[in-house]
Structures are given as structure tokens and as C-alpha cells.
């Protein structure tokens, strides 16, 4: 896909002590919007060397964090660093912040950022850790941010994705993610701020692919959970993950993503984790559905947002707009909406029309790439 013209980027540089060769850490005032599990663990990562303001929609949660240095609702067993201060005021959270990390539910991103936008400092780098597709528009989170934020912020929009359970990050267990930005220099700047011996960041410039992969893997995790809940076996699990990756790639490439992105951390990496790790809320929903439980009671028991449910509906709608087949997403959607049982959905997938494993959609995309390359030469 064609790249945008390169522009000069002035980024803050770490200071080194004369003659020592040692790089001093630089405090990057940081705001984290969202005090759920992922927002809390990212605030903990940032607070190693930076002052952090974490925003919660709920005033009582912000007060509890400041009083007890613990989040009273999420990751409650972990003490939060002293450098984390909580607030329920967006203006206060964003004032003077050079790095803004967004970790709110995907369905509330537009609303929150319309309110937050006027208070974000010019020159701040904005990192979205939100994974989802907006149902009404079919937009990725990056596209939503481009619609609601001033165009001056657009070059500094970064997406964070990859295999990363919040509880393991909070426990300082090794975690590796990717940071995607069309101007990769900004991703590199965030990489330097966030990376540490137990939280390693890679960079990328395919923001469409990284965000599409991060959103749609949740749909496949529900499907795998449903199969496992019915004791479908390891063969079925592997098949759903493999064909699920093909489905995700097909949708991403149709929007301009690079096929190789889906073999990386945001694609295969996050898919493996979410489909097999029992910390995954999406997998747990699928497991419970496979065991015959009702969706409403499952969600009450979990008590947290399960992004894959709304993303499933958005993915089916998006695939239809793009004129693409999305058989796994379609069957998951029918189960979620009570139109089929998990058993019937599995039977439909196994008995649909036989076809080649090679994907003609990706082949056409490859031919288009080659043609574009020949034209450029």
C-alpha cells in the first residue's frame, strides 16, 4: 500500500551524562484514560519512571485509588505506585500530559474522546489500547479517533496491541506487544517510554492491520470457547484458530492492511493467547455458551465488558459491506443472538460448501500490490 509523504518529526531525546554513556530517564507526564484492568496495568507500567494521571468515569473509584493506592474494582490485589494519581475530571487528567493512553471500552471511545479532545495538549502522542470495531460505522478505533480529534493530532495516533493479559502485566510477567503508527517515529518514541525488562514493545506502521487483528481475534476466541465448552477437541480448536486467522486476514487486507501483519504479535500472537488462555473473557463467554448457559447470566457473572460480543456483530456487518465471507463470525453472531445453538453452528461450519484453502481475496490483493509496485518502478 502507498505510504504517505515523509514529514520531519521533532521528538524529545533522552539526555546522556557527559562521558558516562549512560542515558538518563526522562519523565514523560502521562495520562491514562480508563481505570479498568488494562488501563490500570498500563498506568503501573508507565509509573516506573513517569508521573501518571489515571482517569476514571466514577468519582468514588478515583478517590479510592488516591486514598488506598489500589483500584477497588480491577486488579484489586496489586498496590499502585505512588506516582499514580487518579481523577474523574478529564480536563485535570489531560493537563500538561505529553503521552495520552486510551483504555476505555470500544463502545464508549467516541463519546469519551469528543469530550477529551479539546483538553489534549498540542504535540501529545495519543496511544489507543482499545480493541474493537464501531458497530454503526464499521470503523477501527483509529478511524474513530481521526473523526473526533483535531487533524493536528492525527500523525501522532498510535495503536497498542498484542498478546497481553492485564493480570500478567501487573505481576511483571514477560509480555510483548506492538505499537503501530503511520509515522513510525512516534511509535518508536512510545516504545522507549514503555519498554522495560518485563514489558517489551515492537513497532509497526500497519495500523489498519494491527487494529483489525486486535479486534477480530476476540470473535474467534468466542468460537473456540464454544467448541471447547462442547468438548469439541484439540483438532477443532486448531481448525477454528487457523480458519479464524484466514477470516481476520481477509477482512483486514480488504481494508488495505498488509497480510504479513496478521502473522505477528497483533495477529497470530494475540489470537493464540485469547483463544487458549482462560484469563480471556471472550473465551470464557464461549466456554459457558458451549456448556448451554444463557448469555445474559454469563455477563452478569463476569461483571466486565466483553468486547468480542459487540465486535462480532460489527464484524459480520463490516464483512457484508466489503462483500466478503465471514463464516465463523456469522455463526458466532447467530449463537450470541439466540438464533442457533453452538452445536448447530459448529455443524454448519463443518458442512458448508467445500472449497480450496487458498484465499482468492488475498491473491487479488497480492496481484494489486505487484501491479502498484510495477507502476512505481
The burial of 43, by beta-carbon neighbours within 10 Å (0-12 exposed, 13-18 middle, 19 or more buried), is given as: buried
Task: Give a three-class secondary structure readout of the chain.
Answer: CCCCCCCCCCCCCCCECCCCCCECCCCCCEEEECCCHHHHHHHHHHCCCCCEEEECCCHHHHHHHHHHCCCCCCCCCCCCCCCEEEECCHHHHHCCCCEEEECCCHHHHHHHHHHHHHHCCCCCEEEECCCCECCCCCCEHHHHHHHHCCHHHHHHEEEEECCCCHHHHHCCCCEEEEEECCCHHHHHHHHHHHCECCEEEEEECCHHHHHHHHHHHHHHHHHHHHHHHCCCCHHHHHHHHHHHHHHHHHHHHHCCCCHHHHHCHHHHHHHHHHHHCCCCHHHHHHHHHHCCCCHHHHHHHHCCCCHHHHHHHHHHHHHHHHCCCCHHHHHHHHHHCCCCCHHHHHHHHHHCCCCCCCCHHHHHHHHHHHHHHHHHC
Residues identified as active-site: 217
Give CA–CA dist 296/298, Å, rounded: 5
Angle 83-85-89 from CA coordinates, rounded to 5° = 155
Q: Between 234-254 and 307-322, two packed helices, what is the crossing angle to 10 degrees?
A: 50
Q: Specify burial of residue 106 (Cβ count, 10 A radius: 0-12, 13-18, 19+).
A: buried
Amino acid at each position: 500500500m502507498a505510504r504517505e509523504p515523509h514529514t520531519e518529526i521533532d521528538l524529545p531525546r533522552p539526555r546522556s551524562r557527559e562521558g558516562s554513556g549512560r542515558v538518563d530517564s526522562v519523565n514523560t507526564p502521562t495520562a491514562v484514560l480508563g481505570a479498568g484492568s488494562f488501563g490500570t496495568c498500563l498506568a503501573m507500567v508507565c509509573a516506573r519512571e513517569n508521573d501518571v494521571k489515571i482517569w476514571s468515569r466514577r468519582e468514588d473509584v478515583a478517590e479510592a485509588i488516591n486514598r488506598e493506592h489500589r483500584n477497588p474494582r480491577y486488579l484489586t490485589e496489586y498496590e499502585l505506585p505512588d506516582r499514580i494519581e487518579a481523577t474523574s475530571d478529564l480536563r485535570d487528567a489531560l493537563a500538561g500530559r505529553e503521552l495520552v493512553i486510551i483504555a476505555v471500552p470500544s463502545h464508549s471511545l467516541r463519546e469519551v474522546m469528543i469530550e477529551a479532545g479539546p483538553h489534549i495538549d498540542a504535540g501529545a502522542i495519543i496511544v489507543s489500547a482499545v480493541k474493537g470495531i464501531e458497530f454503526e460505522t464499521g470503523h477501527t478505533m483509529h478511524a474513530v479517533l481521526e473523526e473526533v480529534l483535531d487533524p493536528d493530532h492525527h500523525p501522532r495516533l498510535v495503536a497498542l496491541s498484542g498478546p497481553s493479559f492485564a493480570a500478567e502485566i501487573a505481576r511483571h510477567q514477560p509480555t510483548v506487544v506492538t505499537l503501530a503508527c503511520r509515522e513510525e517515529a512516534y511509535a518508536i518514541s512510545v516504545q522507549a517510554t514503555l519498554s522495560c525488562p518485563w514489558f517489551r514493545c515492537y513497532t509497526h506502521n500497519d495500523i489498519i492491520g494491527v487494529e483489525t487483528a486486535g479486534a477480530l481475534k476476540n470473535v474467534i476466541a468466542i468460537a473456540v470457547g464454544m467448541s471447547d465448552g462442547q468438548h469439541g477437541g484439540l483438532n477443532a480448536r486448531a481448525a477454528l484458530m487457523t480458519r479464524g486467522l484466514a477470516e481476520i486476514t481477509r477482512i483486514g487486507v480488504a481494508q488495505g492492511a498488509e497480510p504479513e501483519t496478521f502473522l505477528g504479535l497483533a495477529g497470530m500472537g494475540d489470537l493464540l493467547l485469547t483463544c487458549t488462555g482462560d484469563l480471556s473473557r471472550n473465551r470464557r463467554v464461549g466456554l459457558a455458551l458451549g456448556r448451554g448457559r444463557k448469555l445474559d447470566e454469563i455477563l452478569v457473572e463476569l461483571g466486565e465488558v466483553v468486547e468480542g460480543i459487540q465486535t462480532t456483530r460489527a464484524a459480520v456487518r463490516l464483512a457484508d459491506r466489503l462483500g466478503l465471507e465471514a463464516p465463523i463470525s456469522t455463526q458466532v453472531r447467530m449463537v450470541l443472538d439466540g438464533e442457533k445453538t453452538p452445536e448447530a453452528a459448529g455443524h454448519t461450519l463443518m458442512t458448508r460448501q467445500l472449497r480450496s484453502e487458498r484465499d482468492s481475496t488475498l491473491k487479488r490483493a497480492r496481484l494489486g500490490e505487484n501491479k502498484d509496485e510495477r507502476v512505481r518502478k
